[in-house]
Chains A and B, each alone.
Chain A
Amino acid sequence: DSGVTQTPKHLITATGQRVTLRCSPRSGDLSVYWYQQSLDQGLQFLIQYYNGEERAKGNILERFSAQQFPDLHSELNLSSLELGDSALYFCASSVTQNTEAFFGQGTRLTVV
């Protein structure tokens, strides 16, 4: 158990819908990262937060947004879902930006 909790584990939804994925980082970790892994693809960095502030953006679509709350948990919002958004979404956390990152188990999103 990495200490990073992601909910839900599985999510099936229809095209055009909006979903929210949640991540609780390890206790004491200030930095949260979101990654997308499509079928048989590598991990794509989406966005990073540090202590509530956005620090880096990767290949995140405009339909996607995220935030980190004062209690340091983070949410990734995906809207106007398309079939191609079906993927594993991972959250990782670390104490600072340059320390070891620990991964949650991922949320498997299926858009039908």
Chain B
Amino acid sequence: KNEVEQSPQNLTAQEGEFITINCSYSVGISALHWLQQHPGGGIVSLFMLSSGKKKHGRLIATINIQEKHSSLHITASHPRDSAVYICAVRGMDSNYQLIWGAGTKLIIKP
């Protein structure tokens, strides 16, 4: 079993829909990252969380440390949100290396 599991693996939705991507992890962490990788390959850091909730524009990230679970929400989704969304955790015992989820491929249709 992977230490970081994301669901769903693939998600196709219509423009305007509310999107939720989930991330569950099995290790103790010091922080959790959500990143976005565009079709061209570039990676953008969206959030770094260690507790609670963060919001940036139409993006919201939450984390529940007790349940070892995080969600990334996109409100009023748009075709330009189409990308791979990656969850990565910074383990406490791994010399602060990031442990990566496999990513969720999101396609928003107009």
Which residues of chain B (39-60) have a CB below 8 Å from chain A?
Answer: 41-45, 48
Q: Does residue B61 face the partner (Cβ distance < 8 Å to A)?
A: no
Q: Does residue A58 face the partner (Cβ distance < 8 Å to B)?
A: yes
Given contacts A42-B102, A42-B103, A43-B86, contact A103 B42 (CB under 8 A): yes
Q: How far is the CB of B34 from chain A (nearest CB, A)?
A: 11
A97 touches B44 (CB 8 A): no
How many cross-chain pairs have Cβ atoms below 8 Å apart between A and B?
Answer: 52
A42 touches B100 (CB 8 A): yes
Contacts of A100 in B (CB 8 A): 31, 33, 45, 48
Contacts of A33 in B (CB 8 A): 98
B96 touches A97 (CB 8 A): yes
Size of interface on A: residues with Cβ below 8 Å to B: 23
B35, B41, B95: the one within 8 Å of A106 (CB): B41
Which residues of chain A (75-92) have a CB below 8 Å from chain B?
Answer: 88, 90, 92
Number of chain B interface residues as a range: 20 to 34
B41 touches A101 (CB 8 A): no
Q: Which of A58, A101, A102, A105 has the most CB of B within 10 A?
A: A101
Contacts of A58 in B (CB 8 A): 97
| Shortest Cβ-Cβ A-B pairs, 3 listed | A103-B43, A100-B48, A97-B96
24 contacts between A and B (CB under 8 A): A37-B41, A42-B86, A42-B101, A42-B103, A43-B100, A45-B98, A48-B95, A56-B94, A56-B96, A56-B97, A58-B97, A88-B41, A98-B30, A98-B90, A101-B33, A101-B45, A101-B98, A102-B45, A103-B42, A103-B43, A103-B45, A105-B42, A106-B42, A106-B43
